Homo-oligomer: A and B are copies of this chain.
Amino acid sequence: MSLKLYIDWLSQPSRFVAIVLNILKVPHEVVEIRIAEGKQRTPEYAKINPYRKVPAIVDKDGFQLAESHAIVKYIIKSRNIKTPLYPDDPQQSAKIDEYLDYHHTGTRKLSQYFFNLMVAPKLGIETTVNLEQAKKEAIFALKLLDTKFSTQDYICGKEITLADLSAYCEIMQLHMVNWDFSKYPNILNWMSRVTQIKEVNAGHEVLLKIVQKIRSKPKL
């Protein structure tokens, strides 16, 4: 039995895990769980991930795990992989953990905002958040990163780490709604640095195809 990775290419945390596994050359089999088709809510999938969210993994020995950051750290630890994406040094790894913890209630606000502003109305889902507040929080997260990138190339310093890959997958999602990044020139420069990694690009193929489709419709 091989490592199975359950993802939806349109989910930011899903792409993050797939990209890291590919960069680290960890053999795995991708199983697509399409959120738009409600496939994460089937009884079959509940046996794999009771939280009914993507991503999730089932390891070779049947071990099941959810939460993108936990999955990636588990893969690195269980395979004893040495990688600059998550160095062994306690202080370097702690600064990466610090960002990854902040990410949940910080950078992730971006998708909350854009989902409720753009996607929910199209799917007929009632907006459940205060949109003004969500926008404020999304902009705060972008400003924080833009300021960081004015003095350093990556979130934790000179090297790209798990922190950048997780943040990139989230921020990239905003391309779907033609987000105006002109106010955040340092984020744009950072994005162009991260985009140079071929596994990052490959992980965004499905998303970019959809973006292209949306942009080709003159009325959208």
Please report A residues at the B interface, Cβ cutoff 8 Å: 51, 63, 65-71, 73-74, 77-78, 90-91, 93-95, 97-98, 100-102, 104-105, 108, 128-130, 132-133
Contacts and interface: CB of A to CB of B under 8 A. Distances in A.
Given A104-B104, A105-B108, A133-B129, A78 B97 contact: no
A113 to B, nearest CB: 13
A94 B68 CA distance: 11
A100 to B, nearest CB: 8
Nearest to A57: B94
A94 B74 contact: yes
Contact of A90 (B74, B98, B128): B74
A132 B128 CA distance: 8
A65 B91 CA distance: 9
